Amino acid sequence: MNASVRLIEMVVPATVAVSVEVPETHPSAQILGTERLGTGVVIDAAGLILTVNYVVIGASAIEVTLLDETRLDGRVVAQDFASGLAVIEIAAPGLSALRLCPSSELGVGQDVFIVAAVGENKRRANNGVVTSIAPFDAYWEYSLDRAITTTAMNPGLGGAPILDSRGRVGGVASLDLNEIGRFTLAIPVDDFLTHRGELLQHGRRVSRPARAWVGLYCYTFRDHVVIAGVLPGTPAEQSGLKAGDVVLAIDGQTIATRRELYTALWTHRPGEVLEFRVFRNNEVKRLPVPSRDAEEFFA
């Protein structure tokens, strides 16, 4: 580890283990399960914890375990579906808290390290360097204008803080990429820093207009976007979109990349009907797809 033992000792008490129960009837249970484990980082001594939204989405019960084995009930106080961050609150004033660092203060080649919760409430750390701060899109309807990738492998559960050499939180570990030079993808804390007030007041980003969502998974292959699957109960399933469909256009706009597909979707508001032109079984089909709001679907 390049990070000093003293620095790690300072950071570790501000990390927590998160255990979540989700009802079987919740839409997210089909893809994320009903029992979830994650890492969180204390960002306010009053008891605010930053983590990833996929750990807590649909939670009916949350248990937060501190480093000293203290177990506390938690509740979700904010969810940012656009960035993928969430905030949990616990009743434990006087906690060790870490400062946040906007991604503009991180640079390619800069040393970072990750401290994550693992089984039996232990903590593990790993270090590396930032390899990029660039746009990213995922196979579900999600993209970031700025995402942090690092050679540091996440040694534990999702939601772990990505820390700079001063122990400041620059991002939250979201995905294990397992690519050469790109082992972990982290969500920058920028969106939380910018919108902290409205997130904590309203529980979500009220200033961001609602955007269309249909509930599909997709990947790009040879300048085409192919549907990998659809989530049950979503507009994508109900309108007849199927795995293997090649998306040629949305409302007449040609689609060649996943980012283009998401951009085409997000220019519309929930409730609007979008025309998907897809290639299936050697023929072109036009399918009207009535969109929804992802935040309402997963509420």
Please list the pLDDT of the chain residue by residue as tens digits (299 residues).
Answer: 456 788 988 999 999 999 999 999 999 999 999 999 999 999 999 999 999 999 999 999 999 999 999 999 999 999 999 999 999 999 998 899 999 999 999 999 999 999 999 988 999 999 999 999 999 999 999 999 999 999 999 999 999 999 999 999 999 999 999 887 789 999 999 989 999 999 999 999 999 999 999 999 999 999 999 999 999 999 999 999 999 999 999 999 999 999 999 999 999 999 999 999 999 999 999 999 999 999 999 98
User: Is the fold of 5-90 the same as that of 103-193?
Assistant: yes
The CATH number fitting domain 216-297, selected from 1.10.10.10, 3.20.20.70, 2.30.30.100, 2.30.42.10:
2.30.42.10
pLDDT of residue 155: 95
Phi, psi of 72 (to 5 degrees): -135, 145
pLDDT of residue 3: 61
pLDDT of residue 2: 55
pLDDT of residue 270: 97
User: Which of 114, 189, 188 has its CA nearest to residue 153?
Assistant: 114
Tokens 């790009």 belong to residue: 220
CA distance 268 to 273: 9
pLDDT of residue 4: 79
Please tell me the class of the 5-90 domain.
mainly beta
Please tell me the class of the 103-193 domain.
mainly beta
Provide the residue ranges of all domains of the chain, joining segments of one domain with +.
Answer: 5-90, 103-193, 216-297
Which amino acid, 217? Answer: Y
